[in-house]
A and B are shown apart, each in its own frame.
Chain A
Amino acid sequence: MSRAETEFGAPASSASAGWRELWRKEDWWAIWLGLGLVLAGYFLFVNGSSLRWIAVTPAKWATGAQLLAHFQDNIARYLAQFLLWLVTFAIALTALGHRARDFVPAFVFLYLVSVVIFVIGQWDQASTYNLEPPLVALVLGLVLSNLVGLPRWLDAGFRVEFYVKTGIVLLGATLPFTLIVWAGPVAIFQASIVSIVTFLVIYWVAVRLGLDRRLAATLGAGGAVCGVSAAIAIAGAVGARREDAPVAITLVIIWAIVMIFVLPFASAALLLPAGIGGAWIGTSEFADAAGFAAAQAYGALAGKNGIAGTADQAVFAFTLMKVVGRDVWIGIWAFVLAIVATTRWERTATGGRPDIAQIWWRFPKFVIGFIAASLIVTAATSGYSLADFNKTVNPALVAPLKDLRSWAFIFCFFSIGLTTRFRELANAGAKPFLAFSTGVAVNVVLGFVLSAYVFAAHWANLAR
C-alpha cells in the first residue's frame, strides 16, 4: 500500500491515540532504529566485539593515493553499512506509507553523495576552505534541487526529519545523562525566556500590522519554538486557514537556511567558545535539522583559530538548548493557544474544546529515545574509571555510535538542500515577513546576550 493510499480521513480516535502511533509516526521509528543500534552496540561490546566494523567513515587524507587505499581496504564495510541503512530505513518508511521502489534508488543516490561529502570533510585542507560537511551538503543539495532539478519521486529518500531524529537518538548515547540533568534546567530557563519573548514580539507585530490572530500565532510559534514543526502544530491547534501554515513554512525555511551560515560564522568572528556558540545556535536557530547543521559546522572549528572548546561541546550545548529547552514544550504551547483561540479570538465555523491530552499527542516522541539512549549508555558504563572508559568503552561502544550519528546527520543535511525548492515556496507577503523578521532580530540578539554573557560560564564549561 502506498503512502497516498493510507490514513485517509482516519477517525480521530485511531489517528493519534493508542498503539497505532508506534508504527505510524516517524518519531517512533527513529526510536526503534536509534535504540536498536545502541542496544546492538552494547550487546556486541559486552561480548567483546563492537559496531566499529560497520560504523566505517572516511579517514583523514591528504593525497588521492591515501583515499584510494582507504576505499580499497574498506569497501566491504561500506557495502555492509549501506545495506544496514537501506534495509532499516526502507522498513520504517514503508510502514509510514512510502513506496520502497521510490526510496531505494533515492537512498542509493543519497548514500553515494554522502560518502563524497564525508570525504571532502576529511580532506586535511578542508577547514582552510570552510568545507565543513554540513555546509557542503546543504549547498550541494540546494544547487541540485534549485538549479539542476531532480525527479519529485526521489523525495521518498530525502526524509530530513526522520534522519535528524534518528541522529538525535544516537546522539543521546554519547551524551552522559548526568550532563542532561546538570545542564537541562539552565537550558530550559534560557530557552523559555527567548521563546516567550520571540513569540510575543512576532505575535504583537503581526497583529499590529493587521494580520489574523491565528496566522500571527502560527508565525510566532514557528519563530519561537521549533520552526516548521511548531508552525504546523499551532496551525492545527488554533484552526488556522489553509494558507497560514505555508506562509510560516516559507519564512522559517528562509531564515533557518540564512542562520545555518550566519550563526557559525558570526560565532567564529566573535571567537565564541564552542559551548557558547552551540548554545546561541540552539537558542536562535529555527529547526532541529538546520540547527544541527550550524552547530556541527561550528563544532568543527573548535580548537582552531582561537575558538576554545571541543566539537562535542557545540553539539551538546545546541542539543540541550534546542531539544530539551525548546522542542519538548510544543504540546503546552498548542494547548494554551487552543484555549486562547476558542475563548478570546473571533469564532470560526469549526471548533472544539481544547484537550489537555494534546500535550502528549504533540510531544516530540523522539526525545524519549534520546533520553533512553543516554540513560542506557550512562548506566552501562558507570562502573568504569575515566581511564578505562577512554581506553575501552569509548573506542568500542561510544565512538562507533557517534560515527553512525554522523552519517545520519549528513543524510539529513543533504536532504535539507534537496527538498528546499525556493520557487515552490508560498509567497509569504510583506507583513508576515516583517513580523517574523522582527522576531528573528530580537531572538538573535537576546540569544547572544544570554549565551555569551548571562550564562557564558555555564556554556563555556559544558562537558569539560
Chain B
Amino acid sequence: MGGERCGSCVHFRNDPAYLETLFAGLAALSSADASVRADDGHCRRHDRYLSARASCADFSPAVAAGLTQPDRSPGTR
C-alpha cells in the first residue's frame, strides 16, 4: 500500500509539529495528534490539505528523490 499516493510523495508533509505551525490555533482547541486527523497532510505543490491516500499527476516519490524524509527547506515552517 502507498504506491503513488500523497503519503509517499516528496511534496507531502503530515508531521504533527509542522501542521500545528501551519494551522495557527490548531492546538488551542484540538491537536495534530488527534485520531480524527487520520493521516492527512499538506501538499506543498498544490497547497492543499488532503488525505495521504489522495493522488495526482505530479507525484514524486520521496525515496527516489533521495530523501528519507520530505523536503524541509526554509519557508515551510
CA distance A325 to B58 in the complex (A): 41
Contact with A along B32-66 (1 / 0, CB 8 A): 01111111111100111111111111100010000
By beta carbon, the residue of chain B nearest A165 is: B34
Given the interface contacts A10-B39, A27-B35, A358-B38, does A236 sit within 8 Å of B50 by beta carbon? yes
> Are B23 and A245 in contact (CB-based, < 8 A)?
yes
Instruction: Name the contact of A12 in the complex, choosing from B7, B22, B25 (C-beta under 8 A).
Output: B7
> B77 to nearest A CB, angstroms?
8
B40 — which chain A residues lie within 8 A by C-beta? 232-233, 235-237
A349 — which chain B residues lie within 8 A by C-beta? 46, 56-58
In the complex, whether A326 has a CB less than 8 A from a CB of chain B is no
Given the interface contacts A10-B39, A351-B55, does A26 sit within 8 Å of B34 by beta carbon? yes
B2 — which chain A residues lie within 8 A by C-beta? 11-14
Chain B contact residues, majority secondary structure: loop
Query: Interface on A for B, CB 8 Å cutoff?
Result: 3-17, 21, 24-28, 96-97, 155, 158-162, 226-230, 232-233, 235-237, 239-242, 244-246, 249-250, 252-253, 256, 286-287, 289-290, 330-331, 348-352, 355, 358, 361-366, 416, 419-421, 424-426
> Are A253 and B7 in contact (CB-based, < 8 A)?
no
Given the interface contacts A236-B37, A350-B43, does A241 sit within 8 Å of B48 by beta carbon? yes
CA distance A239 to B72 in the complex (A): 22
A366 — which chain B residues lie within 8 A by C-beta? 35
> A357 to nearest B CB, angstroms?
9
By beta carbon, the residue of chain A nearest B10 is: A9
A240 — which chain B residues lie within 8 A by C-beta? 48-50
A287 — which chain B residues lie within 8 A by C-beta? 29-30
By beta carbon, the residue of chain B nearest A218 is: B49
Given the interface contacts A245-B49, A349-B46, A350-B6, does A7 sit within 8 Å of B16 by beta carbon? yes
> Are A162 and B27 in contact (CB-based, < 8 A)?
no
CA distance A16 to B2 in the complex (A): 12
> B23 to nearest A CB, angstroms?
5
> Are B13 and A420 in contact (CB-based, < 8 A)?
no
CA distance A385 to B62 in the complex (A): 63
By beta carbon, the residue of chain A nearest B21 is: A4
B47 — which chain A residues lie within 8 A by C-beta? 241-242
> Are B7 and A9 in contact (CB-based, < 8 A)?
yes
Instruction: Name the contact of B34 in the complex, choosing from A161, A237, A249, A252 (C-beta under 8 A).
Output: A161
A96 — which chain B residues lie within 8 A by C-beta? 16, 33
A27 — which chain B residues lie within 8 A by C-beta? 34-35
A358 — which chain B residues lie within 8 A by C-beta? 38, 51
A256 — which chain B residues lie within 8 A by C-beta? 29
B53 — which chain A residues lie within 8 A by C-beta? 12, 352, 355
By beta carbon, the residue of chain A nearest B52 is: A12
By beta carbon, the residue of chain A nearest B72 is: A8
Instruction: Name the contact of B8 in the complex, choosing from A9, A162, A232 (C-beta under 8 A).
Output: A9
> A24 to nearest B CB, angstroms?
8
By beta carbon, the residue of chain B nearest A13 is: B1
CA distance A426 to B18 in the complex (A): 16
Q: Which 3 A-B pairs have the closest CB atoms?
A: A236-B40, A12-B7, A15-B39
Instruction: Name the contact of A235 in the complex, choosing from B24, B49, B56, B67 (C-beta under 8 A).
Output: B49
> Are B29 and A290 in contact (CB-based, < 8 A)?
yes
> Are B15 and A8 in contact (CB-based, < 8 A)?
yes
B6 — which chain A residues lie within 8 A by C-beta? 12, 350, 352
CA distance A353 to B22 in the complex (A): 26
> Are A239 and B48 in contact (CB-based, < 8 A)?
yes
B72 — which chain A residues lie within 8 A by C-beta? 8
> A405 to nearest B CB, angstroms?
19
CA distance A253 to B47 in the complex (A): 24
CA distance A235 to B26 in the complex (A): 13
What would be 21 A-B contacts, judged by CB atoms less than 8 Å apart? A3-B17, A7-B14, A8-B69, A9-B7, A9-B62, A9-B67, A11-B1, A13-B7, A15-B14, A27-B34, A28-B35, A229-B29, A232-B36, A236-B49, A240-B50, A242-B48, A245-B23, A246-B24, A287-B29, A350-B46, A364-B36
Given the interface contacts A12-B39, A26-B34, does A253 sit within 8 Å of B25 by beta carbon? yes
> Are A160 and B36 in contact (CB-based, < 8 A)?
no
B1 — which chain A residues lie within 8 A by C-beta? 11-13, 17
